[in-house]
Amino acid sequence: MHLVPADRADRRTIDGHRVCDAIAAIGEPGHVRAWSDRFSLLADPKRLALLLALHRTGPLAVSDLAIATGMNDPAVSQALRLLRAAGVVEGEKEGRIVRYRVVDGDVAALLKHCAADG
Amino acid sequence: MHLVPADRADRRTIDGHRVCDAIAAIGEPGHVRAWSDRFSLLADPKRLALLLALHRTGPLAVSDLAIATGMNDPAVSQALRLLRAAGVVEGEKEGRIVRYRVVDGDVAALLKHCAADG
DNA sequence: TCGATACCTGCCCAGATACGCAGCTATGCA
DNA sequence: TGCATAGCTGCGTATCTGGGCAGGTATCGA
């Protein structure tokens, strides 16, 4: 099990075999990146508040979200655009009203986890 | 149930009662902030890689972490300082070697969750 | 005692990001 | 047709943060 890439194979290790275990534990860079990106979306208090409201209350309109969170409309809209681009939420148009809801299962699980101890 | 704060009670709502539900769903601002801060720590690919390695492999030395992740020593040290200040990891000194491990239960649960589908 | 190693810290810079404002489009109602 | 509302977008700014470099401290081996 020599998982250490060639460009750093000459560096001295403390626990050689544990380094290989660690590399295996980290897994694919793309996978790690996907999760860190997901966590980034939850790392902002305003966005997290929006997602908690959507997750626990269900479909909500933009201006209602603005009132509930104390944000102004453009801020809510911009946050939802980010979340929509990431595939976390989806909006359903009904006349001039758009109601958003959480559609990403992984994020929903994280939100449930974070609401469990509240 | 009039949970809407006075400073925005005059704004028009789409679904009035749902706004109150949403405010209740969001919960205390401090609680939301605590979780967004926690997610921030996992939002960086390098830090997440370090935490995954520590969580799944166990105690690891700084230079071994540097080799496993491809980071240089100061970068690893600085990331660990951040995580240590947040109470996520702890280091145990053994001679001139310091081995770190994850000590925060909430973060460990998130890491397990994120390793489950990998 | 001398050198090498393991780790930490302080600085500066480039890149990313959230916020606020002004303005735009589209829908519904009178 | 005129007007108010719901939502979206672009721009400029202030702020934060990760990354690299140089240098410092402590421990181990010769």
Alpha-carbon span A108 to A113, nearest angstrom: 9
Which of chain A's residues 48-87 bind strand C, using a 7 Å CB cutoff?
71-72, 74-75, 78-79, 82
Indicate the pairing of strand A60-61 with strand B89-94: unpaired
Q: Is A93 helix (H, G, I), strand (E, B) or coil?
A: strand
Tell me, what DSSP letter sits at residue A97? Answer: E
Do A34 and A53 belong to one domain?
no
Q: Is A44 helix (H, G, I), strand (E, B) or coil?
A: coil
Do B85 and B50 belong to one domain?
yes
Do B53 and B13 belong to one domain?
no
Do B67 and B98 belong to one domain?
yes
Return positions of chain C under 7 A from a protein CB: 5-10, 17-23, 26-28
> Using an 8 Å Cβ cutoff, are A3 and A24 in contact?
yes
Q: How many domains does chain A have?
A: 2
In tens, the pLDDT along B90-111 reads: 999 999 999 999 999 999 999 9
In terms of pTM, does the model score above 0.95? Answer: no
Do B104 and B48 belong to one domain?
yes
Do A33 and A48 belong to one domain?
no
Domain residue limits at B81: 44-116
In tens, the pLDDT along B8-65 reads: 888 899 999 999 999 999 999 999 999 999 999 999 999 999 999 999 999 999 999 9
Q: What's the gap in Å between the CA of B104 and the closest CA on chain A?
A: 14
Mutate to test the interface with A, among B21, B31, B39 (most CBs of A within 10 A): B39
For residue B107, the tally of other CB atoms under 10 A from its CB is 21
For residue A26, the tally of other CB atoms under 10 A from its CB is 25
